[in-house]
């Protein structure tokens, strides 16, 4: 079962991808996590990716495609995987399709988590992240036990640059220009399914599970 998660930044597709990975025992492959790991470790790729992410821009295709294709070729992805943050434009989708086709494979489902822009700006402004261990919180929905402090490692929580309102607006604009055409791409392939991302997290999950059958 090979699933692509679509939706604007902050739509909740990452959370749903994690839940689906756990339920179906397949890897959650997030390009965002891969980039953040590289940034934390101070790798050359991480520093290059950080320059784009801090400005609310997307990391160039060549960096993303190389990492992603290597990841899904690993043994733990044999039964399937949930892609989160890839593909993010038509060229990436074409490269993925071509690579899978050579293996006699394809994407089975593209799930679009649909949320209006104003909801997303409010959601992301409430996010807080621990730069030490990578844990994430939300001041309304998933607050830490002690304000501003990570439950897991006790380090200070921050509002990441890419979650600030002005950056979020930029990211949404980039999404509309580059990523939204994927909805048409996967519709034409007959694998796109829309879910209402404004509902409770568990309701959204149940709706996706019903689609996957």
Give backbone dihedrals phi and psi of 162, rounded to 5 degrees, phi first: -80, 0
Return all residues near 114 (Cβ < 8 A) that are at least 6 apart.
Answer: 7, 11, 194, 195, 196, 197, 198
Domain residues for the domain of 178 are 2-212
- The residue from 2, 71, 123, 127 that is catalytic is 127
Query: SS3 of 12, please?
Result: coil
DSSP assignment of 194-205, as one string?
EEETTS-HHHHH
User: Which residue in 36, 88, 123, 128 is the catalytic one?
Assistant: 88
Which of these is catalytic: 2, 13, 36, 128? Answer: 13
pLDDT in tens, 152-204: 999 999 999 888 888 999 989 988 888 889 999 999 999 999 999 999 999 99
127 is catalytic: yes
- Write down the mean pLDDT value for the chain: 90
What is the share, in percent, of the chain residues with pLDDT greater than 90?
54
Tell me: the pLDDT tens digits for 115-132?
Answer: 999 999 888 899 999 999
Tokens of 182: 């994927």
Catalytic residue among 160, 164, 169, 199: 160
Instruction: Please indicate whether residue 188 is annotated as part of the active site.
Output: no
Is 88 an annotated catalytic residue? yes
Q: What is the pTM of this model?
A: 0.76
Q: Is 13 a catalytic residue?
A: yes
Domain count within the chain: 1
Output the pLDDT for position 55: 87
Q: What is the DSSP letter of 77?
A: G
What confidence score (pLDDT) does residue 5 get? 96
In this prediction, residues 26-50 reach a mean pLDDT of: 84
CATH number of the domain bearing residue 181: 3.40.50.300
Mean pLDDT within 22-49: 86
What is the C-alpha separation between 70 and 56, in angstroms, rounded? 25
At 34, is the pLDDT very low, low, confident or very high (cuts 50, 70, 90)? confident
Describe the chain by its helix, strand, coil percentages, rounded to 5: 50, 15, 35
Give whole-number Cα distances, 43 to 36, 88, 132, 165, 193, in Å. 10, 23, 16, 28, 37
Spatial contact of 96 and 61, defined as CB atoms under 8 Å apart: no
Across residues 138-144, what is the average pLDDT?
90
**pLDDT confidence band for 207 (50 / 70 / 90):** very high
Bridge partners, residue 146, by sequence: 149
Q: How confident is the model at residue 16 (pLDDT cuts 50, 70, 90)?
A: very high
């Amino acid at each position: 079962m090979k699933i692509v998660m679509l939706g604007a930044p902050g739509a909740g597709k990452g959370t749903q991808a994690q839940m689906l990975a756990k339920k179906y025992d397949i890897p959650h492959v997030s390009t965002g996590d891969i980039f953040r790991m590289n940034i934390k470790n101070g790798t050359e790729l991480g520093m290059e990716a950080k320059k784009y992410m801090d400005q609310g821009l997307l990391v160039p295709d060549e960096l993303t495609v190389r990492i992603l294709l290597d990841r899904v070729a690993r043994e733990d992805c044999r039964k399937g995987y949930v892609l989160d943050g890839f593909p993010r434009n038509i060229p990436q989708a074409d490269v993925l399709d071509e690579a899978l086709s050579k293996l006699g494979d394809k994407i089975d489902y593209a799930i679009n988590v649909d949320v209006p822009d104003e909801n997303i700006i409010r959601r992301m402004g409430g996010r807080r992240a621990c730069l030490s261990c990578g844990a994430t919180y939300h001041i309304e929905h998933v607050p830490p036990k002690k304000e501003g402090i990570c439950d897991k490692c006790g380090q200070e929580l921050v509002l990441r640059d890419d979650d600030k309102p002005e950056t979020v607006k930029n990211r949404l604009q980039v999404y509309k220009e580059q990523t939204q055409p994927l909805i048409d791409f996967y519709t034409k392939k007959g694998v796109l399914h829309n879910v209402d991302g404004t509902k409770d997290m568990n309701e959204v999950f149940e709706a996706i599970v019903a689609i996957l059958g």
